[in-house]
Amino acid sequence: EIVMTQSPATLSVSPGERATLSCRASQSVSSSLAWYQQKPGQAPRLLIYGASTRATGIPARFSGSGSGTEFTLTISSLQSEDFAVYYCQQYNNWPRTFGQGTKVGIK
């Protein structure tokens, strides 16, 4: 099983600032990496797939990068609606696995 490790676990950011979230895979997943956003009481929402392609309707302030074992999700200028938990997920191997999540909170 591929273990996905996200860092940091918690990130405190002021509105308008940049947030950088990391995700590391225990072995290469190529570019088969997705990012999801989850707000309290809601289902997860797809943000990024293929490591760097924004899903439909996702604002340009969200960007993804990386390949192999190291990935990054960047939120260029945090808006109030971006405070949430973010998960990475690999879909290169079975079983599919998620990172433990990064909670982005208001500083």
Residues that bind another protein (CB under 8 A): 1, 34, 36, 38, 43-46, 49, 55, 87, 89, 91, 94-101
CB 103 within 8 A of CB 94: no
Find the shortest distance in angstroms from Cβ 11 to another protein: 16
User: What would the two tokens of residue 85 be?
Assistant: 């938990």
Q: 3-state DSSP call for residue 64?
A: strand
Find the shortest distance in angstroms from Cβ 16 to another protein: 28
CB 88 within 8 A of CB 3: no
Find the shortest distance in angstroms from Cβ 28 to another protein: 16
- Nearest to 42, CA basis, from 83, 4, 8: 83
Residue closer to another protein (CB basis): 68 or 101 = 101
